[in-house]
Amino acid sequence: MTYCQFVQMVEKKVKEELKERVCVSIYTARKYNGTVRKGILFSEHGSNISPTIYLEEYYRQFQLGETIDLITKEILILYGKIRFREPWKEGIIRNYSEVRDRIIYRLINKEENELMLQDMPYVPYLDLAIVFYVLVEASDYGTATMPVKLEHLGLWNVKKEQVYEQACKNTCHLFPSEFRAMSSVIAELTNMEDTDGEDVLYVLSNHLRSFGAAAVLYPGCLCEIGEYLGEDYYVLPSSVHEMIIIRESAAPGRRALSAMVTDINATQVEKEEVLSNQAYYFDRMKGSLSL
């Protein structure tokens, strides 16, 4: 069964389970780095927020032998957890004062998202772009957001600089940074005890570990890491969700690190989650990140 056939089959099964209570349809979305994803869109009567559940991971489960019926059950359970009980107030998105405190930023690759950036205000940062979203909801299952587009600036009668300033205030407040030794992260994932010894690798993200690479933008964050390490360091874009920090004294050099990042991106990171193939360098004296 092809992926498209799988999506159609799941849509049919979900419709049969929900009957007329919820409108179910196949939704195709353009994501970061030119990727396209298909999912199931759920539209409830009386709600102006329609969540989408993407099916790539479920298709992998199907290929490994899981049945369509069991997958449908899992999707319906997830939908029950992420569905919005209350609609957004009518016209809220048209009023800047209503959304101002919900505006956040993310980091994406600038060159790979040129088409998307034609419709979005953004701020260049190294080889990346800072883009803006309105946070609808955040939970353990992820975040629901709406992209801020150029048309919104006109609707709100604000400039890009105002949106950027507001996002700088909101993002670090709504999504506090999380800086941990790699050994601690691995121990948590494997349910093993943390090993002793000096750490040379660290992970920088946010408390949800969702689009946490943007934590490098938080005021004072990189300087504080430099003070903690007591030396300059490299920043490796592991994905849009996190950055890897490596002490300069333990690093093989920027060129070798960039080659390593490129290889990992090509073999272990989903295309839409790739941030950059470059390794960055933080100079404590300058207090800035650079290529």
List Cα–Cα distances, 269 to 85, 107, 117, 181, 291, in angstroms: 34, 16, 22, 21, 21
Q: How many CB atoms lie within 10 A of CB 91?
A: 8
Q: At what angle do helices 3-18 and 56-63 cross, to 10 degrees?
A: 100
pLDDT score, position 291? 87
pLDDT score, position 254? 87
Tell me the β-bridge partners of 193: none
pTM for this predicted structure:
0.88
pLDDT score, position 174? 95
Per-residue pLDDT of the chain (291 residues; tens, 9 = 90+): 899 999 999 999 999 998 877 899 999 988 999 998 999 999 887 666 788 999 999 999 999 999 999 999 999 999 888 777 665 665 677 889 989 999 999 999 999 999 999 999 999 999 999 999 999 877 666 678 889 999 999 999 999 999 999 999 999 999 999 999 988 887 777 766 665 657 889 999 999 999 999 999 999 999 999 999 999 999 999 999 999 999 999 999 889 999 999 999 999 999 999 999 999 999 999 999 998
Listed by start position, the domains of the chain span 3-82, 92-174, 177-290
Residue 188's Cβ-side half-sphere holds a number of Cα atoms within 13 Å equal to 7
Q: What is the pLDDT of residues 39-76, one digit of tens each?
A: 999 988 766 678 899 999 999 999 999 999 999 999 99
Fold exhibited by the domain 3-82: Double Stranded RNA Binding Domain (3.30.160)
pLDDT score, position 253? 85
The three-state DSSP-derived secondary structure of the chain is CCHHHHHHHHHHHHHHHHCCCEEEEEEEEECHHHCEEEEEEEEECCCCCCCEEECHHHHHHHHCCCCHHHHHHHHHHHHHHHCCCCCCCCCHHHCHHHHHHHEEEEEEECHHHHHHHCCCCEEEECCEEEEEEEEEEEECCEEEEEECCHHHHHHHCCCHHHHHHHHHHHHHHHCCEEEEEHHHHHHHHHCCCCCCCCCCEEEEEECCCCCHHHHHHCCCHHHHHHHHHCCCEEEEEEECCEEEEEEHHHCCCHHHHHHHHHHHHHHHCCHHHCCCCCCEEEECCCCEEEC
